[in-house]
Structure formats: C-alpha cells, structure tokens
Structure 1
Amino acid sequence: MTTLATRPTVPLHPVVRPGGGWAARVVGGLVLAVLGTVVTAASWLLLVDSASGRRFDHAVMVAVEDVFSGVRGDVLDLLRLVSIASVGLALLAIAVIGLSRRRVGAVAAGVALVLVSQAITQGLKAVLPREGAGENSLPSGHVTVISALVVATLLVLPAALRYVAAAAGLVVIAGASIAVIAAGWHRPGDVLAAYGVIAAVGGGLLVLDGLRRAVLRHRQRSVVAVSQ
C-alpha cells in the first residue's frame, strides 16, 4: 500500500491565482471609463453649451425647487453636513473596516476613488465655461463625493452585507442628487456629470487593478516555470 511516507518528496505549489479575471477587469474598466467620460461630456455639451439645453436644465431645477420649497431649510442643513471633516471621518471609518478585514487593496481603491474623482470634479468646475453664469457648477461636488464614499464603502464591506448596503447607498445617492437641485445649488446636468466622473474614475481604477493582476499572474507563472 502506497502512503505519503513511501512516496518521493515532491515540492507542492499552492494553487493561487492572484491574476484571475484580469482581462475582464481591463475590458470592463475601459467600457466604464469611456461611458463615464461620454456622460460627463454630453452633460456639458447638451445642457450647458447648448442654449436650449441650458433653458431646459434650469427649468427642471426650478421645478424641483418649487416642489421642495417648504423643506428647503432642512435640505440645506443636511447638505451642510458634507464637509472636509465629515468626509475625512467617513474615509477613516472605511479604512478601519477595510484594514480590519485585511482588504488593503480595497481601502486604497476606495480612497483613490474619493480623492481622484473630487480632484477631477473641481478641475472641471474651474476650466469649463458656463454661458450666463458667474461660476460653473458642473459637475456637482457633493454628488461626486457622496457617490464615491458609497462605492468605497461597498468595496470594504463583507459580501453578505453588500446587497443591503448597495440598496441603502442608492437611496443616499438619489437623496443627495435631489437635495442639491432642490437647494438650487446644482442643475440636473451637474448631477449627471458627477455620475459620469465617478464611472470614469472607477473604470480607470478597475483597469489598473486588472493590469496589476496580469503582472502578478505573469510573475507567478515565471516562478512556477523556474521551480519545475
């Protein structure tokens, strides 16, 4: 009877696939980045650069303001909760959850999503002109940061909690989107552009993650080939 004791010693290589799914991530990330860029560009071209688009965009904002005029003060109080300090605390909580689960990569991706998307949003605000307005408001910084924080939270949560958290996150994002319009801070086009920025940055990060996995996979194969 052959037992482990009588068998020759053979080095065992654990089956680890750190590069698994890299191609899907790269392709999916590219698609998401392109779609996000198109949404942001179209929001400006159709709802800001176009005179008829500006009128429509402004009319929708005024209509939403009228609907929520009775609670405008409460809406403003909620929006004022979004500050550098509150965003910093949220990022700290995300980091604590992620690091406690040893999800360092997820924490890094979440923080990068929040910081990079906000940097792009503020950059677009500074460089894009708006006809008939003293200051460009596209994209919405509030919607950008809240959406990014929701996604970053999903990245670090256990899989069992993600569906519930995703549903709650969608409610939060929708509420923030309506709130900035009801307060008269942003037009619908600004909100759409914020969604586009999040998609574009998220897609870019997904591409980077896919490329990282491809490199790890190549290195793993090289190590296995050398050891054989």
Structure 2
Amino acid sequence: MDPHDARDPHGTAPAAPARRPARRADPVWALAAASCAAAVALLYTLLVTTSTGQLLEYQLFAAVEDRWGVPAVGLAPRLVRLLPPALAVGAGLAALACLPSRRTRGRGVLALVALVGANATTQVLKHVLPRPALENGVPWAGGNSLPSGHTTLVAAAAATVLLLVPSRWRPAAAVAGAAATAFTGAAAYLEAWHRPSDMAAAVAVAGLWAVLVAPWRRGLRAGRRRASALERTVEALLWAAGLGGLAAGGVLLALTLSAPAVAGAAHPLAAVGGVLLSASPAAVLVGLLLSLLRRMDARRIR
C-alpha cells in the first residue's frame, strides 16, 4: 500500500474537513445607513422646503438672529472656527499613519474614505439643494445652509477616530468625539451660523459614511474581546443624553409656539431648545457607532 495514499485500510477516502459556514452580512448596518440617509432627506424636505417647517425652526433661530452677520469675537466663536479643521486634519493624519503597516492599512483607508466622503457630501448638498424663499414671514438670510460644514468636519473626525482605535480606547474616544461635536453644533447655532436642522443633517451625513465603510473593517486582536462594563456604560449614557436632549429640545420648541417669533420677540426658552436640538444629535451618532462596533466585535467572537 502506498504510504502516501490517504485512504484507510477499507479503501474509503477520508472525510473532508468541515468548513466553517460563511458569516452572513449583518443587515443592521444597511438599516443604519438607510436611516441616516432618510434623516437627511426628511430634515431637508420638512424643515427647509415647507412653509410650516421654516416657521417651526424660526421659533428657535429668532433667539440668536441678532448674531447673524456680526463679526465673531470671544473664545467660543474662535474655537468653533479653528477646532473643526484642526480635528479633521488630525483624524486624517491618524488614518494616514495607519497606511504603512499591512495590519492597519485597511482600516486607515476606510477611515479616510469616511472622512473625505462625509465632508465632500456636505459641500455638494449645501450647493445643490436650494432653500426656497416662501411668503411665511420668515426673514430671508441667504441660500441653503444644510448640512453644517463645521459640524460635519468634527462629526466625521469623531467617527474616523472610532473606526481607527482598538475597542479598549473607544469609551474615551467616544466621549471626546461626542463632546467636540456637540460643542461645535451648539456654538454654530448660538453664533447664528446655522439652524438646528443643519447640525442634525451634518451628523447624519457623517454617520452615513461611517456605517457604509465600517462593515469592511477588520478588527485588531484587541478589538475581538468582549465589551467591557465601561464601554457599555458609556454607550448607554450617550444614547440617553442624545435621545433625552432631543426630547427635551422638542418639548421646549413646542412651548415656544405660544408666542410666534414672526409676530414678535423670540420666546425665552427658544435658545435653550435650539442648543439642545443642535448638540444632542452628536451623542446619538457616537452612541450608534459604539453599538454597531460592539455588535461587530461580538459577531467575530462567535
């Protein structure tokens, strides 16, 4: 008998090693991407193109309208001018630093695609989508400003960092990214650069690109461990802060309707509602990305 013959003494061929079944694509990512795209479309359609939507958002914008066109002075407006490009450049450099290593090259490329894609999409939308001048009493202040370019820079940078770092660093990166994005959104509103819908749309654009590229990301070994209690706690707190802030902002917006801004002064609660609706989407975005990345790690462990 040929010693190299793989057959057993009874002449039967050995059973082929069982193959691990191919992992199916997780539909949650497609659902998240569709939700982000739908959010941008709904925000533009409902709040920019309709008379009711413009009136509704003007309830909040009227509280900061006197800042429109005023030269930015003070620490906050200077920070909101410098912080977004600085963070975007920093995130881009971090992604570029991953390219020389074969182990991290893939995630670096994906992070760059998400960063560049989000900011390019925002600039295209700002110039392609019109803002109609309707006869509803809302003052005309130029063309379309949705999505916010400053907020997109920071939100895309926050998403890029989450795609790059190992899972043990995600809680710190998530808190920092959410805080920076929320600050930018709130400051852009208070300086009358943007309406709250502009910030929400910017966050949705950044989220869209992040969830489009993230499923192609291969995790480092450190990213294959189970989520820690800290990661889950930060994730839950971000979801609570984001959804709670949006709910509170919506309630304050409803309360301002008792005194229409187009017929008089802005409601005293309008500025607080505007800040909440401008800042809260940042926490929702980062909470969503943490949930999806944790789900990805859990599926890889199985």
What is the TM-score with the length of structure 2 in the denominator?
A: 0.56
The reply on whether 1:55 has 2:63 as its aligned counterpart is no
As a proportion of its length, which structure holds more helix? 1
* Structure 2 counterpart of 1:23: 25
Separation in 2, partners of 1:178, 1:100 = 38
Tell me how many residue pairs correspond in the alignment: 193
Larger relative contact order (C-alpha < 8 A, sep ≥ 6)? 1
Taking the aligned partners of 1:202 and 1:90, their CA distance within structure 2 comes to 13
Task: Name the stretch that deviates more: 194-203 or 119-128.
Answer: 194-203
Deviation of 1:164 after TM superposition, in Å, equals 1.8
Read off the aligned partner of 1:201 and give its amino acid letter: W
Following superposition of structure 1 onto structure 2, how do residues 62-141 of structure 1 map, counting pairs within 5 Å? 62-63=62-63, 73-82=74-83, 87-96=88-97, 102-132=103-133, 133-141=141-149
Could you say what secondary structure the match of 1:80 adopts? helix
User: Are the equivalent residues in 1 in contact too, given 2:115–2:157 (CA < 8 A)?
Assistant: yes
Partner Cα distance (1:136, 1:93) in 2: 32
Whole-angstrom CA distance in 1 between matches of 2:64 and 2:201? 18
Change (3 A) 1:20 1:97: farther
1:33/1:200 contact within 8 Å kept: yes
1:90 partner letter: A
Equivalent residues of 1:48, 1:130 under 8 A apart: yes
Aligned equivalent of 2:151: 143
Query: Which residue, out of 167, 189, 199, partners 2:207?
Result: 199
1:183 shift after superposition: 1.3
Moved more, 87-96 or 107-116: 87-96
Work out the CA distance in 2 between the residues paired with 1:81 and 1:21. 44
Shift of 1:72: 6.2
Percent of aligned pairs with the same amino acid: 33
Question: How far is 1:136 from its partner?
Answer: 0.9
Q: C-alpha displacement at 1:112, in angstroms?
A: 0.7
Contact 1:33–1:204, Cα closer than 8 Å, also in 2: yes
Q: CA deviation at 1:96?
A: 2.2
C-alpha offsets along residues 39-96 of structure 1, whole Å, 9 cap, x if unaligned?
0011111111111211221321333678xx9x96322101221465763343113432
Distance 2:76 2:65 in 1: 11
The answer to whether structure 1 residue 159 and structure 2 residue 167 are counterparts is: yes
Bigger shift: 31-40 or 93-102? Answer: 93-102
**1:29–1:202 Cα contact (<8 Å) kept:** no
Could you list the runs of 5+ residues in structure 1 that have no partner in the other structure?
1-7, 11-16, 211-228
TM-score, L = length of structure 1: 0.72
**AA in 2 matched with 1:139:** P
How much is the aligned-residue C-alpha RMSD, in angstroms? Answer: 3.3
**C-alpha separation in 1, matches of 2:102 and 2:80:** 31
2:128 corresponds to which letter in structure 1?
A: V
Q: Does 1:174 align with 2:176?
A: no
Contact 1:128-1:136 at 8 Å conserved across structures: yes
Q: Is the 8 A contact 1:110 1:149 kept in 2?
A: no
Code of the aligned partner of 1:23: A
